[in-house]
Amino acid sequence: MTAAAPRPGLLPAVLRSAPVLAFTSWKGAIAGSFLLLLILGALLAPWLTPYEYDVQNLPGAFQPPSLAHPMGTDEFGRDLLTRILYGARTSLSVSGVAIAISLFCGMVLGASAGYLGGRFDRAVMVVVDLTWAFPEILVALMLVAIIGPGTTGTLVAICVAYLAQFTRLTRAQVMSLKSETFVEAARGMGASGTAILFRHLLPNCLGPVLVAGMLATGDAIILEATLGFFGLGAQPPTPSWGGMMSSGSGLLFKGPWIILFPGLCIALTVVAINLFGDALLHKLDIRERVRSA
């Protein structure tokens, strides 16, 4: 415990170090390392593999896993590991960016609805409840149908599909925090509404909302893969995990590894994200953080 404590702000030191602390538990360490490796692999893909993801080599099609091709090759003779690494770029970045945007918009909407209340709150909640009434996949399909298939469409679809969830969560958090005595105390000190929102309400609801965002990223990867599977996601030759599973589904007996490895990647990534989210939630609790620090 040092005397010079960090300033509280929208992003207090707690949050900056919580992901690091999440590694101190077994769950968090394993899941976190997997995710880190995956992200590194995606980033360094051009340097990690000697193959190109889009160059066809028809004579070398349908090779089972070997030393040269650890995950085998697909129906066009492309190295599967290379395509999975490049696919991770699409899957992770599309779902990650979409959730980040969705989270930001949801927090702004939810916090202002919860804090202001009244007509604005009711208007926001009507729209949010309407989207909430449909499954995410349905909302996403509808939006892709409007915008058209591709990376942008997927991104917007995921973004809107999860907006309702984040808005509701932030609103509920803000509304319960609003009646806390420390908020009343801040008003008694003359703090303005904006100051209370940014100094007390948002920092206190940031933890649960960020963890919800983390967990939603897992869901979003599945949603992105589903859209890809339907051929509505990233368009060929850009690899995406969903798209790869889709093309592998017709070749289940000829080359089972073509669908197995992308599927495995999706499953492991989602599990890892959920486990890491769990560990993060635990460490985001300020009491827990100070104890372990």
Partner 1 sequence: MTKAAEPSAGADPILALSGLTRRFQSGGGFLRPARSMTAVRDLDLTVARGDCVGVVGESGCGKSTLARLAMRLIEPSAGRILFEGADVTHIRGRRLRALRKKLQMVFQDPYASLDPRYTVRDCLEEPFRALGEKVPAGRVEQLLDQVGLPRAFAGNYPHQMSGGQRQRVGIARALAYRPDLIVLDEPTASLDVSIQAQIIALLQDLQRQHGLTYLFISHDLGLVRYFCSRIVVMYLGSVVEVLEDPQAAPAHPYTAALMASSFTPDPTARATIAPMEGEIPSPFALPPGCPFAPRCPRALDRCRSAYPPTVPTARGRVACFNPIEA
DSSP state of 200: I
> Is 293 among the residues that bind partner 1 (CB under 8 A)?
no
- Residue 72 is encoded by which pair of tokens? 């085998």
Q: Per rule CB under 8 A, is residue 189 in the interface with partner 1?
A: yes
Residue 179 CB coordination number (10 Å):
8
**276 backbone dihedrals φ, ψ, rounded to 5°:** -65, -40
Tell me if 40 contacts partner 1 by CB under 8 A: no
Q: Count interface residues toward partner 1 (CB under 8 A).
A: 29
Q: In terms of CB distance, is 87 or 203 closer to partner 1?
A: 203
DSSP 61-97: TTPPS-SSSTT-B-TT--BHHHHHHHHHHHHHHHHHH
Among 44, 195, 252, 271, binds partner 1 (CB under 8 A): 195
Q: CA 138, CA 133: separation in Å to the nearest integer?
A: 10
Closest CA relative to residue 160, chosen from 171, 152, 172, 149: 152
Each residue 147-186 as x (binds partner 1 by CB under 8 A) or -, in order, gives: ---------------------------------xxx-xxx
Question: How far is the C-alpha of 186 from the C-alpha of 203, rounded, in Å?
Answer: 14
Q: Which stretch binds partner 1 (CB under 8 A): 27-35, 145-153, 193-201, 269-277?
A: 193-201
Minimum CB distance to partner 1, residue 194 (Å) = 11
Interface with partner 1 by CB under 8 A: which range of 59-67, 110-118, 157-165, 189-197? 189-197
- Name the residue among 271, 280, 292, 293 with its Cα closest to residue 22: 280
Binding residue (CB under 8 A) for partner 1 from 17, 61, 132, 187: 187
User: DSSP letter at 58?
Assistant: G
Quick check: 7 binds partner 1 (CB under 8 A)? yes
11 touches partner 1 by CB under 8 A: no
* Alpha-carbon span 201 to 112, nearest angstrom: 11
Query: Shortest Cβ distance from residue 11 to partner 1 (Å)?
Result: 12
DSSP state letter for 79: B
For residues 269-288, which are near partner 1 according to CB under 8 A? Answer: 286-287
> Closest Cα partner for 259 from 238, 237, 244, 239?
244
What gap in Å lies between CA 250 and CA 109, rounded to an integer? Answer: 44
Q: Which residue from 50, 190, 194, 253 is in contact with partner 1, where contact means CB under 8 A?
A: 190
Residue 191 touches partner 1, criterion: CB under 8 A: yes
3-state secondary structure of 222: helix
- Residues across the chain: 293
Shortest distance, CB of residue 3 to partner 1, whole angstroms?
Answer: 5
As to burial, measured by CB atoms within 10 angstroms (0-12 exposed, 13-18 middle, 19+ buried), residue 61 is middle
**For partner 1, which residue of 69, 83, 171, 200 counts as binding (CB under 8 A)?**
200
What is the per-residue binding string for partner 1 in 110-149, x denoting contact by CB under 8 A? ----------------------------------------
Select the span of 5-13, 18-26, 29-37, 58-66 touching partner 1 (CB under 8 A).
5-13
Kindly tell me which of 58 and 194 has the beta carbon lying closer to partner 1. Answer: 194
Site residues (vs partner 1, CB under 8 A)? 1-5, 7-8, 12, 14, 180-182, 184-192, 195, 199-200, 203-204, 286-287, 290
